[in-house]
Amino acid sequence: MGGKRINIEKIWRDLATMAYESRLGMSNCFHTIDEGLEDKLRENEGKLYAQYAGWDFWGGVWFEDDKFHCQVNVHHYPREEIEADSLKEIMEKVSDKYGYG
């Protein structure tokens, strides 16, 4: 099949161990971050995640260890975890690598 093998255990965070924020999220389609999401994730450090939906990927975002994290999945397969100081920076990094649609 070719291609680089990825060690899933190294990048996979079991999001099922956290609560899911269903009312707030991020969208690559409109390049939006719902108002209040960053604060809500900070207040629930390591206990809450939200979705980051894109055309060619899905991400789970959360706040832990003074950073925002995004577990990027493509076709239901984890690709990597990206971290940044803000959700806006997460969006920029993920969009640069996985597309803006």
Query: Does residue 89 contact residue 31 with C-beta atoms inside 8 Å?
Result: no
**pLDDT at residue 84 tops 50:** yes
Is 3 a member of any domain? no
**pLDDT at residue 101 tops 80:** no
Query: Does residue 21 contact residue 50 with C-beta atoms inside 8 Å?
Result: yes
What are the pLDDT digits (tens) for 60-78?
999 999 999 999 999 988 8
Is 34 a member of any domain? yes
**pTM for this predicted structure:** 0.86
What are the pLDDT digits (tens) for 26-45?
998 889 999 999 999 999 99
pLDDT for position 77 = 86
Is 4 a member of any domain? no
What are the pLDDT digits (tens) for 17-26?
999 999 999 9
Q: Which domain holds residue 64?
A: 17-98
Is 1 a member of any domain? no
